[in-house]
Amino acid sequence: MILIFQMAKKIYVGTDVFVLGASNLRDLKGMLEKGTYIFEVPVHVGECTFVANISRLLPGTEERYALLEDPEGYKAKVGTKNWDITALHMYFLQNQNSQTIMLPLTMPP
């Protein structure tokens, strides 16, 4: 297994940059850093490449909590700056097929 942190991508989510009102790049970056973001980290395992989405635990809905094995444990971690793998994307190098695997214990809101 090879983790490639140098190729990790930081992705800002849930922020409309057109309504932030930043007057320069430094202000925009500061506003984005206060928002929600995820990291995508590639992991090579044999002939497959996984891309792990890593994010802070965010509050979910009651419908999503009902799907978790330990919803109270998840709720206790929300807002504590804990990070978790929220999705894995699997890419096969041989045949160019891909599929997404959602992990059952952690779900985005």
pLDDT value, residue 93: 54
pLDDT value, residue 82: 75
The answer to whether the predicted template modeling score (pTM) of the entire model surpasses 0.75 is no
> What pairing do the DSSP bridges indicate for beta strands 2-3 and 36-45?
antiparallel
pLDDT value, residue 97: 57
- Please report, as a single letter, which amino acid is at residue 86: T
Contact 37, 11 (CB under 8 A): yes
The per-residue pLDDT of the chain, averaged, comes to 75
pLDDT value, residue 107: 38
Residues of the chain with pLDDT under 50: 95, 102-109
pLDDT value, residue 1: 65
